[in-house]
Amino acid sequence: MQDLINNTPTRIPRPEHNFSRQNMSQAALHVLYQLHKAGYQAFLVGGGVRDVLLGRAPKDFDVVTNALPEQVKGLFRNCRLIGRRFVLAHVRLNKEIVEVATFRAHHNKGGGGVMEEGRIVRDNVYGSSVLEDVWRRDLTINALYYDISDFSLLDYANGIADLYAGIIRLIGEPKLRYQEDPVRMLRTVRFAAKLGFTIAPQTAEPIPDLCGLLANIPPARLFEEVLKLFLSGHAVQSFMQLRHYHLFKQLFPYTDACLDEPIALALIERVVHDTDERIGNNKPVTSGFLLAALLWPPLSRLLPDKPVKNFNQQEVLLEAAQHILLKQQEHVAIPRRIAVLMQEIWLLQLRLTRQRRGKKKNFSLLKHPRFRAGYDFLILRANAGEDQVINEVDWWTSFLNSNESSCEDLLSQRSVLNKKRKHQRKYKKVKTEEELGN
């Protein structure tokens, strides 16, 4: 077994590294000091250390200690113990939450973890030292510990060398580490995408063979990972890497099956690009919009190609939407409120393109709480190459920018257009699965 962990860490004293307390949140610093003052060991670990060393702003600060969760709770007024897989202490200071974890033992040391087919399902046995804790870290660059007792950095797994060489490397034997927790495959890809690092060949190699193990992970946990992959400013890279390692198919199988269609692929490439751009410009992004786009290609496949008598278009769309959402939930659980937003965006596609509208209806659509999302979605479709919606995008764009007289002109154009379409209004029921070849 390839063992990357050194029993004696490289200790980098404060003068030899550039990790400064000034780059740390006041809340995290306070937690570290309080633990130390109470006689416990306390370290900052994970993204907080990694990102500061790279000159980036960390997303959050994670603390590890030899204090047990109850002991941590005893030290802080605003502390809550939480835990699904592990018991963790959340210390709230001002508006910030600092996550404090107790060292954990390696799952097969001292009868530690509960395993199922090589997967760790519980590992709540506490370890006594930071050396044991290294085993529960995924990547070498995520296993750097900042020691509050002397401000030094502890490196057990050559993380510093990998950090400065830009390498994503799993600690230990990659196949076993992925089997213990298949989400590590997504984390490997996520950090490569986020940092622009190269995945070490041994770390990359098992992923395409093992990606099916993600089927054993609760869909709710995968939803959290999907948000981190796609809503952190590196969605373009995440999408490329996920596809490259066959992981995208595990998360969104119905979308993946559509990616041989150029328009479907262009739509996803656009939405991930636009999401990154908005985050880069500090504009808000919503998971509902992104997911509505991710599932639009398989949803469109369910819709009939030609209008058919006696079926209401809206009902057909809703039926198809509910079908695709239900199927998708088996892989990635989408919370209800987000699914509702997705359906609203999809339904607006009909209202923005097909409905016959008088003046009043056009104006009332502008007041729809999701109008902007629906309109942006229509633009996205046009940009991806859905030529049939280009005229509608132009019309709505002119309408939104119109003054009183040009607005009247646009409305009269619309009523001519709608008369032409009147006969097309009835749509066939949703396609059956056999028709789709699924």
Binding stretches for Mg ion (CB under 5 A): 46-47, 60, 62
Rounded to the nearest whole angstrom, what is the least distance from the CB of residue 44 to ligand ATP in the complex?
A: 10
Known catalytic residue at 147: no
- Of 60 and 277, which CB lies nearer to Mg ion in the complex structure? 60
Q: Is 46 in the site for ligand ATP (CB under 6 A)?
A: yes
**Of 194 and 301, CB closest to Mg ion:** 194
Residue 181 interacts, among Mg ion, ligand ATP, none and using kind-specific CB cut-offs from 5 to 8 Å, with ligand ATP
Partner interacting with residue 142 (select from Mg ion, ligand ATP, none; CB below 5-8 Å by kind): ligand ATP
The Cα–Cα gap between 309 and 320 comes to 18
Active site residue 138: yes
Q: Is the dihedral of CA 36, 78, 126, 191 positive or negative?
A: negative
**Smallest distance, ligand ATP to C-beta of residue 24, A:** 13
Q: Which residue is nearest to ligand ATP (CB)?
A: 47
Q: What is the largest CA-CA distance in the chain?
A: 80
**Among Mg ion, ligand ATP, none, partner that 274 touches (CB below 5 to 8 angstroms by kind):** none
CB of 60 to Mg ion, least distance (A): 4
DSSP structure class, residue 346: H
User: Any idea what DSSP says for residue 139?
Assistant: B
Binding of ligand ATP by 181 (CB under 6 A): yes
Nearer to ligand ATP, 160 or 318 (CB): 160
Choose among ligand ATP, Mg ion, none what residue 136 binds, the Cβ cut-off being 5 to 8 Å by kind. ligand ATP
Query: Rounded to the nearest 5°, which phi and psi values hold at 11?
Result: -105, 120
Are β-strands 88-93 and 79-82 bridged in parallel, bridged antiparallel, or unpaired?
antiparallel
The phi, psi pair for 321, rounded to 5°, reads -60, -45
Residues 79, 81, 83, 89: what is their CA dihedral angle, to the nearest 10 degrees? Answer: 50
Q: How many CB atoms lie within 10 A of CB 198?
A: 14
Exactly one of 106, 136, 249, 331 binds ligand ATP (CB under 6 A); which one?
A: 136
With tokens 């902007």, the residue in question is 372
CA dihedral over 137, 138, 139, 140, signed as positive or negative: positive
By the rule CB under 6 A, 60 interacts with ligand ATP: yes
- Residue 174 partner contact from ligand ATP, Mg ion, none using kind-dependent CB cut-offs of 5 to 8 Å: none
Q: Which is nearer to ligand ATP, 61 or 371 (CB)?
A: 61
Residue 106 binding partner per list Mg ion, ligand ATP, none, with a CB distance cut-off of 5 to 8 Å that depends on partner kind: none
Catalytic residue among 62, 147, 155, 276: 62
Sign, CA torsion 223/225/231/236: negative
Query: 64 has which bridge partners?
Result: 43, 101
- 305 labelled catalytic: no
Question: Which one, 44 or 214, has the nearer CB to Mg ion?
Answer: 44
Nearer to Mg ion, 44 or 389 (CB): 44
From the DSSP assignment, how many helices (H) and strands (E) are in the chain?
23, 12
Distance of closest approach, residue 181 Cβ to ligand ATP, in angstroms: 5
Burial class (CB in 10 A: 0-12, 13-18, 19+), 37: exposed
Does 222 engage in binding with ligand ATP (CB under 6 A)?
no
From 123, 133, 138, 256, the catalytic residue: 138
In 196-335, alpha helices (H): 201-204, 207-210, 219-230, 235-244, 248-251, 253-256, 262-280, 287-294, 296-302, 313-329
Question: Any idea of the CA torsion for 116, 70, 97, 56, to the nearest 10 degrees?
Answer: -60
User: Which residues contact ligand ATP by CB under 6 A?
Assistant: 46-47, 59-60, 62, 136-138, 142-143, 181, 183-184, 187, 228
Active-site amino acid positions: 60, 62, 138
